[in-house]
């Protein structure tokens, strides 16, 4: 049975979402019974799924939150904390590929985590009364108001609706929103530009230029516009499109009984793609990002805290705090490929010695004018990613790893190039503070947690039976400015949950994974969503594992994210 999905076209990661509507003629199914359907004036419907608090008792306990009696003072303190979390730019002559603080986690996990977030949630960052962090009188909202009014625009089931949307349009059926993204039952894939004047060398395999998202006037034709927010996630989304297309071929060649008609053929390829990704989320992503054993414990013993009493919901403590750990893993520069990084085996001369983070925004639909972009409406061939520089856990190159999960963010995250620009252009004199909020990622995360009444790290630790971080741990290794902000504003006793999760990872896991509190929130939420989705691989009668899925050309199953990328014909 086809699973309903939603196309989100006017939405940015961390920015402001705009709900899209789905055709009213789409038939409801048992898989959509948990969705809230809202009819608008045009007779169309959109679906929404619930947000709620993982710890309901804490949500209604003022002592478990940051103080609400003087919001202006707390807001000022949170802004100061956010600013203190961002590192100073490197000094002249320092190598941006070799800063201190590399983790043991390859960089692909940073952007896979972002991709997974886009598949699970949309709307916490929307510019509305419920989540507008730029308003001058920002104060915590009543938790019951948050739950009633803040709705998720995604199915939080790891079902790849951010990739598939509502699927292709089949003959004799109503048109789908995503229909134009497909050519038959395969996804359209964009072709990288080879226009004259583009420097550099081809990325192997040199004759394979189907390595971009499909675009119209530079805008990606995909089910979630956030996956074209930066070049690395855009290249990862392209890998998912290619995996599905390869799965279509696999079904045709090895499971012809599932390819007797286009609908059946598509659904089987989609099912294999979904199950493969879901298995990898638990057995690769969570095993890498969480403390050893916690994902397996939640998988085999069950959750201790995530128990939806009715329809499954997305916990706010997850989406607004704990799962935003990936922001600290972002590097200021990457060894992107042999043109913008280290030379290839043939010893070519790179165009730049690395890819600065800001340039990763130049070759997407949200790109901004720069001297490297030229007139290309699609990805230039010289910017195709080389995934082997991003996926290898055994690499001997230090910068082939993400930054540690800690309380320090890379300098570019203080001034995001694609955020706040319209506000600044409209009123450069009066909107200075709003622009600073929108461009500063740490500020945004902290203010959003305060606005949505997220409980403190200490209160969540107590509720989970985990020894809370001590004041000594909370100040360990921090700059003098950071320590002063924490001490002077009472954050050592009541610590914002997002900051707490990062500090726990830093001092109790050396920044190479989440700590226990962060691991449990993330694992229980994601595994819980998969358990409650009756179409997930966890609920397949008789069980499912990669041994029952697609195979790589050498006959091996896909058991890593690198293998997932390679199945689509992309070296990794």
Render pLDDT for 509-525 as a digit per residue (tens, 0 to 9).
999 999 999 999 999 99
| Eight-class DSSP state of 283 | I
What pLDDT does 196 receive?
Answer: 78
Alpha-helical runs (H) found in 399-496: 421-426, 432-439, 441-451, 457-464, 471-475, 480-488
Question: Residues with Cβ < 8 Å from 546, sequence gap 6 or more?
Answer: 276, 279, 557, 558, 559
Residue 195, SS3 per DSSP: coil
- Cβ–Cβ < 8 Å for 246, 185: no
Residue 490, SS3 per DSSP: coil
- Cβ–Cβ < 8 Å for 246, 228: no
- What is the H or E stretch that residue 544 is in? none
Q: What is the pLDDT of residues 250-269, one digit of tens each?
A: 999 999 999 999 999 999 99
The count of other CB atoms within 10 Å of the CB of residue 360 is 27
Q: Which domains, and CATH codes, for the chain?
A: 30-567 (1.10.640)
Question: Residues with Cβ < 8 Å from 76, sequence gap 6 or more?
Answer: none
- For 363-379, the three-class secondary structure string (H helix, E strand, C coil) is CCCCCCCCCCCCCCCCC
The count of other CB atoms within 10 Å of the CB of residue 170 is 18
Cis peptide before 205 (omega within 30 of 0): yes
Q: How far apart are CA 81 and CA 330, in angstroms?
A: 19
Q: What's the chain's length in residues? A: 572
Residue 50 has φ and ψ, to the nearest 5°, of -80, 145
Q: How far apart are CA 265 and CA 512, in angstroms?
A: 41
| Eight-class DSSP state of 396 | S
The count of other CB atoms within 10 Å of the CB of residue 17 is 23
Q: Write out the two tokens for 41.
A: 């004036």
Q: How far is CA 307 from CA 55, 310, 311, 320, in A?
A: 10, 9, 10, 19
Q: How far is CA 549 from the centre of its chain?
A: 25
User: What is the pTM (predicted TM-score) of this model?
Assistant: 0.90
Closest CA to 72 of 546, 517, 489, 363: 489
The count of other CB atoms within 10 Å of the CB of residue 376 is 19
Residues of the chain where predicted confidence (pLDDT) is lower than 50:
1-3, 13-45, 368-370, 421-424, 430
- Cβ–Cβ < 8 Å for 276, 239: no
The count of other CB atoms within 10 Å of the CB of residue 311 is 13
What pLDDT does 157 receive?
Answer: 85
Residue 315, SS3 per DSSP: strand
Rounded to 5°, the CA angle 255-258-263 comes to: 140
String of DSSP letters for 200-263: S-PPSSTT----B--EETTEE-SSBGGGGSSHHHHHHHHHHHHHHHHHHHHHHHH-GGG-SSHH
Q: Write out the two tokens for 286.
A: 């969570």
Residue 49 has φ and ψ, to the nearest 5°, of -120, 160
What pLDDT does 30 receive?
Answer: 28
Q: How far apart are CA 458 and CA 505, in angstroms?
A: 15
- Cβ–Cβ < 8 Å for 135, 437: no
- Cβ–Cβ < 8 Å for 237, 222: yes
């Amino acid at each position: 049975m086809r699973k309903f999905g939603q196309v989100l076209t006017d939405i940015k990661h961390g920015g402001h979402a705009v709900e899209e509507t789905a055709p009213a003629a789409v038939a409801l199914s048992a898989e959509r019974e948990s969705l809230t359907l809202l009819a608008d004036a045009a007779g169309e419907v959109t679906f929404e799924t619930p947000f709620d608090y993982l710890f309901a008792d804490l949500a209604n306990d003022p002592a478990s939150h940051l103080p609400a009696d003087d919001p202006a003072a707390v807001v000022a303190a949170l802004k100061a904390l956010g600013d203190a979390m961002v590192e100073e730019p490197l000094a002249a002559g320092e190598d941006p590929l070799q800063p201190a603080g590399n983790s043991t986690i390859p960089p692909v996990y940073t952007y896979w985590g972002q991709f997974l977030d886009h598949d699970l949630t949309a709307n916490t960052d929307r510019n509305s009364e419920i989540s507008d962090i730029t308003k001058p009188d920002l104060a915590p909202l009543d938790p019951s108001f948050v739950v009633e009014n803040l709705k998720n625009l995604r199915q939080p089931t790891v079902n790849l609706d951010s990739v598939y949307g509502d699927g292709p349009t089949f003959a004799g059926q109503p048109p789908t929103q995503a229909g134009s993204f497909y050519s038959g039952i395969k996804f359209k894939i964009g072709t990288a530009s080879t226009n004259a004047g583009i420097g550099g060398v081809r990325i192997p395999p040199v004759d394979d230029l189907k390595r971009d998202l499909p675009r119209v006037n530079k805008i990606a034709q995909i089910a979630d516009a956030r996956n074209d927010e930066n070049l690395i996630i855009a290249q990862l989304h392209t890998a998912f499109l290619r995996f599905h297309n390869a799965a279509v071929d696999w079904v045709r060649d090895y499971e012809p009984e599932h390819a007797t008609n286009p609908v059946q053929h598509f659904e089987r390829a989609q099912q294999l793609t979904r199950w493969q990704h879901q298995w990898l989320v638990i057995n690769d992503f969570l095993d890498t990002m969480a403390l050893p054993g916690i994902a397996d414990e939640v998988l085999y013993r069950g959750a201790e805290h995530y128990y939806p009493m009715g329809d499954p919901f997305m916990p706010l403590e997850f989406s607004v705090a704990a799962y935003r750990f990936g922001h600290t893993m972002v590097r200021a520069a990457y060894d992107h490929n042999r043109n913008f990084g280290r030379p290839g085996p043939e010893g070519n001369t790179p165009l730049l010695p690395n890819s600065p983070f800001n340039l990763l925004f130049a070759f997407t639909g949200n790109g901004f004018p720069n001297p490297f972009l030229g007139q290309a409406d699609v990805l230039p061939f010289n910017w195709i990613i080389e995934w082997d520089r991003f996926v290898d856990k055994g690499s001997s190159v230090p910068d082939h790893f993400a930054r540690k999960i800690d309380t320090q963010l890379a300098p570019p995250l203080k001034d995001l190039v694609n955020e706040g620009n319209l506000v600044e252009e409209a009123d450069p004199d009066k909107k200075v503070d709003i622009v600073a909020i929108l461009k500063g990622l740490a500020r945004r995360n902290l203010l959003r947690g305060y606005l949505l009444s997220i409980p403190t790290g200490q209160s969540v630790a107590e509720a989970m039976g985990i020894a809370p971080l001590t004041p000594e741990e909370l100040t360990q290794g921090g700059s003098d400015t950071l320590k002063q902000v924490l001490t002077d504003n009472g954050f050592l006793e009541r610590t914002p949950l997002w900051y707490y999760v990062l500090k726990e990872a830093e001092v109790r896991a050396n920044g190479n994974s989440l700590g226990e509190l962060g691991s449990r929130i993330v694992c229980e939420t994601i595994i819980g969503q998969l358990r409650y989705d009756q179409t997930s691989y966890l609920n397949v009668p008789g069980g499912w594992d990669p041994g029952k899925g697609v195979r790589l050309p050498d006959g091996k199953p896909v058991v890593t994210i690198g293998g997932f990328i390679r199945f689509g014909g992309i070296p990794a």
